[in-house]
Amino acid sequence: MKVRVAAFGVTLDGYSAGPDQSLENPLGVNGGEMMGWVFPTRFFCRMHGKAGESEGETGIDNDMAEQSFVNVGAWILGRNMFGPVRGPWPDENWRGWWGEEPPYHVQVFVLTNYARPPLVMKGGTTFHFVTDGIHVALERARAAAGGRDVRIGGGVATVRQYLEARLIDELHLAVRPVLLGRGESLFRNLDLRALGYQCTRSVAGERATHMFLHRQG
């Protein structure tokens, strides 16, 4: 079992989300440019019901997207990855970005300061809202994963917290040749070398360079 981040978009200037997330801009303003490598892939198109058997691009980027879902037994998400709602939940009407059948198909643990009952969705996804912090969320995710990997899905603040705690074993970054200028920086004031991370592999894709970092020791 590994704790890993996979297919996590990063721009050349180090941002992994644009500013001002909203319903219209789930990845922040201009944030979609950061994930432009995955949108044309067959994997993404099929996941979102936009392609038939022969539609969408194959290649290295597609392979990387496919591999990011292999052997994942549970997910951990930050509150912003679940939706744009801030503060106390006004009601339970918001059910995520993905419609009634999210792409996870396993148990997903959402970090939040505000309690909410579990949300059961179609396709095997259940969202659990964890108010006890990153360590409790990881304990619950590991138990739910049944020996498979736990994937930290983001957003930026969540990945940074798990990196700072040295709890991530593998970090797959999809580096895009674009500049955001502002937004949420993945690396700001984060000394990955001191935390024991090293880049062990680099693969050039069609629209991104895929960098793999592993925690040593």
Please give the DSSP secondary-structure letter assigned to residue 41. B
Element (H, E) at 76: strand 72-78
Q: What are residue 212's DSSP bridge partners?
A: 172, 201
pLDDT score, position 51: 56
pLDDT, residue 52, reads 58
> Residue 184: which of 211, 154, 214, 150 has the closest Cα?
154
Residue ranges of domains in the chain, CATH in brackets? 3-18+30-215 (3.40.430.10)
CA nearest to 6, candidates 53, 52, 70: 70
Task: Residue 157: count other Cβ atoms within 10 Å of its Cβ.
Answer: 16
pLDDT given for residue 54 in this prediction: 62
How high is the pLDDT of residue 113? Answer: 96
Q: What is residue 47's predicted lDDT score, i.e. its pLDDT?
A: 85
Residue 136's pLDDT is 98
Can you give the three-state secondary structure of 143-198, one letter per residue? Answer: HHHCCCEEEEEECHHHHHHHHHCCCCCEEEEEEECCCCCCCEECCCCCCCCCCCEE
Helix, strand or coil, per DSSP, at residue 13:
coil
- Could you tell me the pTM of the whole model? 0.93
Q: What is the pLDDT of residues 69-116, one digit of tens each?
A: 999 999 999 999 998 888 999 998 989 888 899 999 999 999 999 999
Residue 87 CB neighbour total at 10 angstroms: 7
Burial 123-132 (b: 16+ CB within 10 A, else e): eebebbbbee
* pLDDT mean for each 10 residues of the chain (217 residues): 97 94 88 93 85 78 97 96 90 89 96 96 97 98 98 96 97 97 94 96 98 93
